[in-house]
Structure 1
Amino acid sequence: MLTKYLGFLLLAQLVLAAPSQPSQESVDLNDPVQRDLQQKAKLETVHLYDSLFRSQIAYFTEVRSHLSPQTKRFRDITLYLTRLNQAIAQEGLEAKEKIWFDVFEEFKESPLLLNRESETNLSDVQYKLLLTGKKLQDISSQFLADVGGYVWNMAKFSGKVVENHIDGLAKASQT
């Protein structure tokens, strides 16, 4: 399960790292349909970021609940949760992206999912069991479903952009 969770974090990182806005050359921003589709894609990406943040908050809150407040890992997770809540509080896509990448950079050196007994006061077996509990699996599964929905919606938006572009070319060639 731990490797699945790490994989899903990497998947989320790749999905969210994809350009969230089409290039100016590929989209006629004077076209109200294109502008509407671009706005819907931005909103969908904001929802995915918030889903990622909420999933991680739920996951790490559950992990933290089994740690002693005196441990370094408890404090690291508390700081991580604070950063994630700050990201959810942001309104715009660009602000969420910045916080996500800042959080990723800030915590890439902190092995929140790896056990160091001196930081958790738990044995490797205890920490592994903690990280792979049923509730945590459910949280991860829900996020994967959210990613699937995001990919589906973005594919639909892309299809509509292409359809609108082709319709615009057809109209232009008729005149």
Structure 2
Amino acid sequence: MLKYIPLLLVAQLLVVAAKPTNPRLFNSDDPVQRELERQAKAETVQLLNSLFRSQIAYFSEVKAALNPQTKRFQDISLYITRLAQAIAEQELDRKDQLWQNIFEEFKDSPLLINKESETGLTDLQYKAVLTGQKLQDISTRFVKDVADYFWEMTKISGQVVGNGIANQNE
């Protein structure tokens, strides 16, 4: 059951690491550099939205197995609402701040830990809900999205370096 907690922690680290904030890479008046910065930010926004959608999909599956009258159902509903708000945000820094706020708001919430009084399910039932095939598929898709992001950022980084070298040679 706890094997999905690392996914949430990795997601948090990705949000912090993904932001292209090195001003030395993007402080040029060069239109090529500005376009590369725009591409890097767009890729980061796409990754964050993928993260949020993956979590919405995951927790929607969990929520579907819960009684709507339980505390966990309500907690998950609020979490999903906050994630949807983060997806709607277009500006990267604001999106990052929303994610930080969501993480702070829910870091002490046991969304993945069963308390029968809060879920209405036994430990075995909740474990089955948390580890179902659909949930594993969602996690797999997210890992693929992360790999795609790092590939795209590697290509953009190579273009930044190549453009920087070309500018120095001029």
TM score, norm. by length of structure 1: 0.92
Larger radius of gyration: 1
CA gap of 1:165–1:22, structure 2 versus 1, over 3 A, is farther
Aligned equivalent of 1:165: 164
In 2, are the aligned partners of 1:8 and 1:144 still within 8 Å (CA)? Answer: no
Where 1:24 maps in the other structure, the secondary structure is: coil
Which residue of the partner structure matches residue 12 of structure 1?
A: 11
Q: 5+ unaligned residues in a row in structure 1: which ranges?
A: none
- Corresponding residue for 1:128? 127
In 1, the alpha carbon distance for the partners of 2:85 and 2:168 equals 44
- 2:141 and 2:27 map into 1 onto residues whose CA distance is 36
* CA apart distance, 1:37: 0.4
Deviation at 1:24, TM superposition (A): 2.6
Identity fraction in percent: 56
Cα root mean square deviation, aligned: 1.3
CA distance in 2, matches of 1:28, 1:91: 22
Which position in structure 2 is the counterpart of 1:98? 97
Number of residues of Structure 1 aligned to a counterpart in Structure 2: 170
Deviation at 1:150, TM superposition (A): 0.4
Deviates more, 1:17-26 or 1:93-102: 17-26
Q: Which 5+ residue runs of structure 2 have no aligned equivalent?
A: none
The reply on whether 1:141 has 2:140 as its aligned counterpart is yes
Q: Which amino acid aligns with 1:132?
A: T
Question: Cα offset for 1:25?
Answer: 3.0
